Amino acid sequence: MKKLLSIILAALLACGALLPALAGAEGALEAEDGEEFVFPPYSYEELVVGNPTPVEGNFFTDLWGNNTSDLDVRMLLHGYNLVSWDAENGMYILNPTVVAEGGAVVLDDSIGDRTYLLTLYSDLKYSDGTPITARDYAFSLLLQMSPVVATLGGAPLRQDYIMGYEDYAAGNPVLSGVRLLGENQLTITVRHEYLPFFYELGLLDCLPYPIGVIAPGCSVKDDGEGVYIDGPFTAELLRKTVLDPETGYRSHPSVVSGPYTLTAFDGTVCEFELNHFFKGDSEGVKPMIRKLKLVPVENETMVSQLGRGEIGLLNKVTRADVIAEAGALTATGTYGNATYPRLGLTFISFNCEKPAVSSAEVRRAIAFCMDKDQLMTDYTGYYGVRVDGYYGLGQWMYQLLSGTLMFPVEEPGEGSSITQAEHDEQMAAWQALSLESIPKYQKDTAEAVRLLEADGWSIGADGIREKDGVKLSLKLAYPEGNAIADSFEVHFIPYLKEAGIALSLEPLGMEALLDQFYHRSERTADMLYLGSNFDMLFDPAAHFQSEETGAPAWNYTEAKDEELYRLALSMRRTEPGDLLGYCQKWLEFQIRFAEVEPMIPLYSNVYFDFFPRILHNYYPSSTATWSEAVLAAYLSDMEDMAEETPKTGEEHFED
């Protein structure tokens, strides 16, 4: 793959205004009696991390949900993925800590099915010292794709690119596309119909899980036709070993493979200690901070908690007023901050199976009834950027098309492989791509009315539009306590009323809200206010599938549009390394997304992390959240602090 420029925060156009906002923060902290602020004492044994998104307890896979804080916990607990993301080159690579040097062979058969033969290092161990072998990776795939997961309220992993997936998902116990060749060797076969695939090695994404803990009495075998689970692998067994609220692996994983182990979880607070058997991440980095604690914090009090020494790291701060308040801490000189662009976005998701919002015309009309720019500014201040599609600031595709990154076109000249004419042709193709092509929904109630009337919605006696017995009296669910409700009351609901749409707001706990989004409970709302961060392997096809697959939980919006699905498939089928072709297809997908409007994209933003300067070498990014960045960090007296330079090409700011 051609080398992608590193995704650098310094290039983010909006960031020019970020530092003055903090550097100019007034009110350097003082004690109540007027004395100078005194730096609070901290433990050098434990880092307390505060995040405004509370954990749900899905600490084992994303089969039961993908809360961002749960994802951070999973990154701490589970390691040794077969692949890792190479941010410098913008591609997936085989994890050099897991796959032995020279231990990968790729074979294509006569029809194009591709088999990866992987040899693993023999020194991989779980936190209890037991070996991690090829069987653990095979078990991971068998477990996550198993139809048993659906009977337990989860969404089985849809890995239809693996040979034999359809038979296995339908109940055949053998997965033919995965083979065991020895304790440390396995093969994974990708169907030719799935190739080319832009993020090809990302298809081998797999973490090991301990079968002895999750499915005691079971083992993984291969009799020559593929792998299968031998033993009492039943829903009843997993309901006890995985879903038990006190001891189940979903919320209390006891034996893990990552840099930390979970030592306590009371449903709210997580505590961690070093996993002494962890040999390192993909770069060989091993954590140095002995203990971690993850606690929920409120926007109204988190900064004072940091100032009192109760919190050692505030993670993913987004609200403008909180960022401004934290600026006073950085002004003392004893606190720093890290800023990085978000890989995802905040949106209003439609439950398109609901009759009132099943029509794209209605969804578009609703989008025209919002003052999106003002709503975003109220909530994020200068730290958010309006989005009009299914993308985030931290994605390399957005950064290339927005002009944040230079186009990856080789310069002609001595030693170059292209001529000036070829260079000019490639540059012209890149310059033809513009985010301005994506339809934008500026507040326009007249256009909303036109769309509704053209779609057959007439005003009823109560002023609310109706059609075929269905009224546009809608409900929007949002996280309880979230200040966005105040902005909806001002910048959304009045304009909907002008167009003949009634909207009520319903606060829900985050778990209940996500249960509706993931189809785990009855969807009583028409719209859901949520946020999401993308995986580096951006493949939205499964989430916007148009056909009936028997797994509706994958299509969270239930907006089944043939063209949107086709464009998502086309994007995925780009040849690896064809950045221009991928971005062209990405833009086509975004344009159709805005035409169908299964969600109202609101904003993406810059995250802020705040911490005392005793925390060193902490460099989060759009591709490395706090739970990854903390591995290289350490705690030390301020007097010991030396000039530190990030290892990556990213620029990090401290005041």
Interval 464-479 mean pLDDT:
97
Instruction: Name the more confident of 225 and 639.
Output: 225
The rounded distance, in Å, linking the Cα atoms of 3 and 219 is 42
Q: Which CATH superfamily is domain 78-244 in?
A: Dipeptide-binding Protein; Domain 1 (3.90.76.10)
Q: What share of the chain is helix, strand, coil (3-state, %, to 5)?
A: 30, 20, 45
pLDDT of residue 30: 42
Domain-by-domain residue ranges, the chain?
Answer: 78-244, 345-604
Per-residue pLDDT tens over the stretch 626-647: 999 999 999 988 544 444 444 4
Torsion angles phi and psi, residue 493, rounded to 5: -60, -45
**One fold for 78-244 and 345-604:** no
Instruction: For residue 543, name the pLDDT band (cuts at 50, 70, 90).
Output: confident
Beta bridge mates, 50: 295, 314
Interval 361-369 mean pLDDT:
98
Question: Residue 10: is its pLDDT beyond 90?
Answer: no
Torsion angles phi and psi, residue 496, rounded to 5: -60, -40
pLDDT of residue 36: 52
> Which spans in 56-173 are helix H?
68-77, 134-145, 148-151, 165-169
Per-residue pLDDT tens over the stretch 305-348: 999 999 999 999 988 899 999 988 888 888 999 999 999 999 99
The rounded distance, in Å, linking the Cα atoms of 227 and 225 is 7
The rounded distance, in Å, linking the Cα atoms of 79 and 137 is 12
Percent of the chain with pLDDT over 90: 77
> Which spans in 183-252 are helix H?
211-214, 235-241
Per-residue pLDDT tens over the stretch 189-198: 999 999 999 9
Q: Which of the four CATH numbers 3.30.365.10, 3.10.105.10, 3.40.640.10, 1.10.287.990 does domain 345-604 have?
A: 3.10.105.10
pLDDT, the chain, mean: 89
Question: Residue 24: is its pLDDT beyond 90?
Answer: no
**Burial 441-452, CB ≥16 within 10 A → b, else e:** bebbbebbbebb
pTM attached to this predicted model:
0.86
